[in-house]
Amino acid sequence: MRNLKRATRRYGKHILALTVIIILFAFSRLPVLSATEREVMASRFEFTRFPLPEVVGKPYHQLRGVNPSLEHISGWISAVGAAVALNDLDGDGLDNDVCYVEPRNDQVIVAPIPGTGDRYTPFTLSPSDLPYDTATTAPMGCLPGDMNEDGVMDILVYYWGRTPVAFLGEARGSLFSLNRDNYQPQDIVSTGEKWYTNAATFSDLDGDGHHDLIIGNYFPDNAEIIDANSSRIEAMQDSMTRAYNGGNNRILLWQKDEQKVSYKDVEIFDNQIAHGWTLAVGTADLDGDLLPEIYFANDFGPDRLLHNQSKPGHLQFAKLQGEKGLTTPNSKVLGHDSFKGMGVDFGDINHDGLLDIYVSNIADEYALEESHFLFTSTGEYDRIEKGIAPYKDESESLGLARSGWGWETKFADLNNDGELEALQATGFRKGEVYRWPELQELALGNDQLLKVSKSWFKFRDGDDLSGHQHNPFFVRASDGRYPDFSQINLKAQSRDEK
């Protein structure tokens, strides 16, 4: 007995610590589907992979020309620009056309979706009649929308290095064969500034029946980021978690003009909202008043949810923030996060008739495992008037918190069973030299050094940051969680197989 007491005193702390570790490990393990349920769930889906149509043009490159002060991180600067949008561009009543940005040679390509017929020859959009320097400008995304309200779908292309351009479609009956001559480029603003736009969306913000335009910018306006001949020294973000020195986010209010597309730049945001390093913007009517709220997903600072209080011709928004609970980490509270917001979408994930918010961040194992967000609505909309966002993050309990370096995210009911699937585009730059240790060291450094580009580690062609990840495809299981089914029933058709 005496020996037992002595052993208990000697090893008691170790036993307690081991017990705590075992309990925490049990809680941290993700539930595992049975082989039977996985097979049944997988049988509901089947996909075929097609390469996007290409247009012969400039040769592919892995790096853009960049400002000499940023040349040592040219791999980082050159890693953005891939974008895609689906719509009915040829007027056949089907969303079977694609507009996408090919960042390897900075082409904006319009084409029929593969497998929908060769209705027209793929072509590129370029603002040839407008000021455009290919050495200092690069397209970042394309956004279909009827900007001049003539019943024909137009395409907005936004860039690094200039303001966005409206490519206005010309009507040729109810159905026409598309080519580049069907689109006339026009500047939507006449400032002549250099914007670094990473996100844009159309939405009727003031309820007047016309689609306004929300622009999310990244690097500061009039910077010279991709000018290889610049003599300026450019700064990076002034913090990994609270950066407010980015480009100016803008609302462009639609204006009636018989001669051209016209928008009014309305400056209504405070500095922290206006100058976040924005990578995504989404709108949805979250409270049922027929006015869309705005969600800005920011890379190096907290995301922003703005409650719409506008009236026709007059814009007004109020910032909403979530409330912290006893078990809620600070960064899992809406509006208080410090994660790398890169994509946002809305959907009713729990069938309560209220829209929830899905946000992609960085969630890399053994790196920055910040987690993604699934902000589910609590339905307490009366609290909105107090500035409280009625949402709580349930990403971990639903299985949507983890994947990788998450860019875009989308909800969709792909098999028409009434349940939303969740998709993500993940990964950063593919290479052979692992650079996560250097990024971790930079992220832990002093913010005063972070904005100085010379303090950044070398990141060029051949370096890797999360470059070998797959794109998740989350499907809801019987327990309510979303396991990843990205590798199931995929029929690949590569160029070598054609």
Question: What's the pLDDT score for residue 494?
Answer: 39
Q: What's at 402, amino acid-wise? A: R
Give the confidence band of 490 by pLDDT, cuts at 50, 70, 90.
low
- Average pLDDT rounded to a whole number, residues 126-151: 94
Q: Is the pLDDT of residue 4 over 90?
A: no
How does pLDDT run across 252-282, given as a tens digit for each residue?
Answer: 999 998 888 999 999 999 999 999 999 999 9
% of the chain beyond a pLDDT of 70: 91
Q: Is the pLDDT of residue 29 over 90?
A: no
Give the confidence band of 5 by pLDDT, cuts at 50, 70, 90.
low
Question: What's the pLDDT score for residue 327?
Answer: 85
Residues counted in the chain: 498
Give the confidence band of 401 by pLDDT, cuts at 50, 70, 90.
very high
Give the confidence band of 14 by pLDDT, cuts at 50, 70, 90.
low
- Average pLDDT rounded to a whole number, residues 3-21: 64
Q: CA 498, CA 494: separation in Å to the nearest integer?
A: 7
Q: Which residues contact 13 (CB under 8 A, 6 or more apart)?
A: none
Question: What's the pLDDT score for residue 260?
Answer: 87
Q: Tokens representing 84?
A: 């895609």
**Fold classified for 33-491:** Methylamine Dehydrogenase; Chain H (2.130.10)
Q: CA 113, CA 96: separation in Å to the nearest integer?
A: 5
| Cβ neighbour number for residue 86 with a 10 Å cutoff | 14
- State whether residue 72 is helix, strand or coil: helix
Q: Is the pLDDT of residue 479 over 70?
A: yes
Choose among 265, 273, 284, 263: nearest CA to 211: 263
- Average pLDDT rounded to a whole number, residues 369-389: 95
Lowest mean per-residue pLDDT among 192-201, 324-333, 432-441: 324-333
Distances (CA, A) of 2 to 11, 13, 31, 269, 465: 14, 18, 43, 72, 57
Question: What's the pLDDT score for residue 484?
Answer: 94
Q: CA 358, CA 85: separation in Å to the nearest integer?
A: 19
Question: What's the pLDDT score for residue 87?
Answer: 97
Question: What's the pLDDT score for residue 58?
Answer: 85
Lowest mean per-residue pLDDT among 29-33, 177-181, 318-322: 29-33
- Average pLDDT rounded to a whole number, residues 245-258: 94
For the CA atoms of the chain, what is the radius of gyration?
Answer: 24
- State whether residue 17 is helix, strand or coil: helix
Choose among 316, 280, 312, 318: nearest CA to 296: 280
Strands 317-320, 197-203: pairing kind: unpaired
Q: What is the pTM of this model?
A: 0.92
184, 126 contact by CB (below 8 A): no
Beta bridge partners of 298: 278
127, 155 contact by CB (below 8 A): no
Q: CA 177, CA 167: separation in Å to the nearest integer?
A: 16
Lowest mean per-residue pLDDT among 18-27, 196-205, 408-417, 434-443: 18-27
Question: What's the pLDDT score for residue 3?
Answer: 61
Q: CA 190, CA 193: separation in Å to the nearest integer?
A: 8
Question: What's the pLDDT score for residue 129?
Answer: 86
3-state secondary structure 140-178: EEEEEECCCCCCCCEEEEEEECCCCEEEEECCCCCCCCC
- State whether residue 391 is helix, strand or coil: strand
